[in-house]
Amino acid sequence: MPRNWPKNESYDSVFKLVLVGDAGIGKSSLVHRFTENTHSQGHVPTIGVDFKIRTVTVDGRSVKLHLWDTTGNERFRSITTAYYRAAHGIAICFDTTDAKTFERIGGWFEAVEQFASSGVRPFLIGTKSDLTEQRQVPAEAAARLAASRGLSYVETSSLRDENVQAAFESITRETARRQAKMASQRRDDLRAGGRALRSAVGEWRPPADGCCSCLPFLRSMLTSQAPPLRWSPVSVRERPGLASVEVA
Residue 217 counted as domain residue: no
Average pLDDT over residues 193-212: 62
In percent, how much of the chain has pLDDT > 70?
67
All residues at 6 or more sequence positions from 67 whose CB lies less than 8 Å from its CB, including other chains: 17, 19, 31, 34, 35, 51, 52, 53, 54
Dihedral angle sign, alpha carbons of residues 198, 202, 208, 213: positive
Residue 4 counted as domain residue: no
For residue 78, the model assigns a pLDDT of 65
Residue 239 counted as domain residue: no
**What are residue 53's DSSP bridge partners?**
66
Residue 232: left if φ>0, alpha if ψ -120 to 50, beta else—which one? beta
Residue 236 counted as domain residue: no
Residue 197 counted as domain residue: no
2-39: per-residue pLDDT in tens? 454 445 568 899 999 999 999 889 999 999 999 999 88
Residue 198 counted as domain residue: no
**What are residue 208's DSSP bridge partners?**
none
Number of structural domains in the chain? 1
Residue 244 counted as domain residue: no
Whether 243 has a pLDDT exceeding 90, the answer reads no
Collapsing DSSP to helix, strand or coil, 150 comes out as coil
β-strand pairing of 49-58 with 61-70: antiparallel
CA dist list (Å): 237 to 134, 229, 245, 246, 247: 86, 21, 6, 7, 9
For residue 71, the model assigns a pLDDT of 76
> How far, rounded to the nearest angstrom, does the alpha carbon of residue 108 sit from its chain's CA centroid?
18
Q: At what angle do helices 27-36 and 164-202 cross, to 10 degrees?
A: 90
Whether 47 has a pLDDT exceeding 70, the answer reads no
CA dist 103 and 100 (Å) reads 5
Average pLDDT over residues 151-158: 96
117-145: per-residue pLDDT in tens? 888 889 999 999 999 999 999 999 999 99
Tell me the residue range of the domain where 173 lies: 13-182
Residue 173 counted as domain residue: yes
| CA angle at 20 for the pair 18 and 23, rounded to the nearest 5° | 140
CATH code of the domain in which 95 resides: 3.40.50.300
Residue 23: left if φ>0, alpha if ψ -120 to 50, beta else—which one? beta
